[in-house]
Amino acid sequence: MIYDMDNRRYAYEYELNEWKRDYHDTDGEVMDDQQLYWHVPSLFDDGDWIEDDEDSINAWLDETYGAGHTITYGEAVSELKEYQPDATKEYWEWPMEDFHSDYEEEL
């Protein structure tokens, strides 16, 4: 019985890790709930999550507005706030209410 429970726990954790791989920041990296991001809200989805560093902010500004050619982190943040005044710096959290596993109820 314990062996079966270990297999179910492994299956649950495997499904959870596969599900987490679907969440990416604007750099294409898997999101990390221990890291700060700039969140640019959207009316149609969860918005964009930009990693909190100069290169990521500049890359997003370049792709979105053809801007983002700043030299310092402070300039990049100022330009981001100029184009997206609603952007906020926050920790991202896994939307666990969206995750479901058949093994979850059995654990």
Q: What average pLDDT does range 35-63 have in this prediction?
A: 92
Quick check: is 45 in a domain?
Answer: yes
Quick check: is 14 in a domain?
Answer: no
What is the tally of structural domains in the chain?
1
47: left (phi over 0), alpha (psi -120 to 50) or beta: left
Which pLDDT belongs to residue 106?
Answer: 55
The beta-carbon contacts of 46-49 under 8 Å, at least 24 apart in sequence, are 49/25, 49/92
Which pLDDT belongs to residue 55?
Answer: 94
What are the φ and ψ backbone dihedral angles of 5, each rounded to 5 degrees?
Answer: -65, -40
Quick check: is 7 in a domain?
Answer: no
Quick check: is 12 in a domain?
Answer: no
Quick check: is 52 in a domain?
Answer: yes
Whether 20 and 30 have beta carbons less than 8 Å apart is answered as yes
pLDDT at 105 over 70: no
The residue range of the domain holding 69 is 26-95
Quick check: is 19 in a domain?
Answer: no
Q: How many percent of the chain have pLDDT more than 70?
A: 92
